[in-house]
Amino acid sequence: MNYKDIATPLRTKMLLDKYGFSFKKSLGQNFLVDTNVINNIISASGITEKSGIIEIGPGMGSLTEQLAKRAKKVLAFEIDQRLIPILEDTMSPYDNVTVINEDILKADVKAAIETHLSDCEEILVVANLPYYITTPILMGLLEQHLPIKSYVVMMQKEVGDRLSAVPSTKSYGSLSIAVQYYTTVEKVMVVPKGVFMPPPNVDSLVVKLTTLPHPAVQVEDEALFFKLTRSAFVQRRKTILNNYMSVIKESKLYKEDIIKWLEESGVEPNRRGESLSLNEFAELSNNFKHFNTLSI
C-alpha cells in the first residue's frame, strides 16, 4: 500500500491532525481509507484519459487523487468550506482537478460541465455519496437529463439494494422505478463499514448506473408518471386502489372512474403498488388523461 495515498488510515490521520479537522455528523462525513476499494471503484467506472469526472463530496481527496491520475479532468463539488484548504493541499500535484465549494443540490451542474468538462469525450460520475442525501442527489442529476454516460457511486447498502430491486420484493419502490426508468443498474461490490474513518453504522454498496439512450418505457408525461409511482407506495400494505383514493382529488366522487382507469390499464384494483412493473406504471400514466374527471 502506497504510504503517500490519502486513502490510508495513517495519511488520513496525519491530515486530520495537521488541519485540526473534526467530522460533522450532519454532513454524513465518512472518509474512505482503503486503496483496494478505491481501485475497484476506478476499475468499474472504466475511466480513460479522455474522461471528464464529476465527484460529489470529495472529503480530503482520497478518491479524487486516484481519479486525477487516470482521467482528463475531475470536477469535484464539496459543500464543507473547511475541506477546501485541505483539498488545495492534497490536490496541489494535479492541475486537472477543479474543486467547487457548493452544494450539489443547488449547483448548476449543466453550466459547470460546459465550463470545466466541455473538452472531455465522456462525462462520468464517480463518487462516495453523502448517505443522508443520496436519493436527492441521484434523482436531481438523472431528472436534468445531463450528458452523463454512467454513475459509479457508493451509498448505504439498503439504498443501493433498492435501486436494482424487482417487483414484489421488499426493496422495490418508487426509487427503483425512477432509477430503472433512466438507467441500467449493476451491483459492483459490498463495502464493509470498517474501511471508513469514522466507520458508519451500516455497510455500503457500490453500484454502476449506465444511462439509457432513451427511457426504459415511453410515457407522455414524465411528471405525472413519477407522481403516480410515488403515490402507489404511500402506504405499502394498502392496495393500489386505496393508495390512489388517498391522493386523487375528490376520489370518493370518482371512485368508479378510478377503478375503470385501473382495469382498462390492465391493473387489478386490489393489487399492491409493489407488484407493478415499470411497464404497468407507464400504462397507468398514459391512460390517466383519458379520464378527465381525475386529477392528482
Residue 232 burial (10 A CB sphere; 0-12, 13-18, 19+):
buried
How far apart (Å, rounded) are the C-alpha atoms in residues 28 and 104?
14
- Asked if residue 250 belongs to a known ligand binding site, the reply is no
φ, ψ for residue 158, nearest 5 deg:
-60, -40
Give DSSP secondary structure letters for 56-84: E--TTTHHHHHHHHHSSEEEEE---GGGH
284-290: long-range contacts, CB 8 A cutoff, minimum separation 24: 284/228, 285/219, 285/220, 285/221, 285/224, 285/225, 285/228, 286/218, 286/219, 286/220, 287/261, 288/224, 288/228, 288/261, 289/220, 289/221, 290/261, 290/264
- Asked if residue 78 belongs to a known ligand binding site, the reply is yes
84-95 in b/e form (b: 16+ CB < 10 A) is eebbeebbeebe
Residue 287 burial (10 A CB sphere; 0-12, 13-18, 19+):
middle
- Asked if residue 241 belongs to a known ligand binding site, the reply is no
- Asked if residue 32 belongs to a known ligand binding site, the reply is yes
- Asked if residue 28 belongs to a known ligand binding site, the reply is no
- Asked if residue 128 belongs to a known ligand binding site, the reply is yes
Nearest to 155 by CA among 179, 188, 185, 129: 129
Annotated binding site for S-adenosyl-L-methionine: 30, 32, 57, 78, 103, 128
Known binding positions: 30, 32, 57, 78, 103, 128
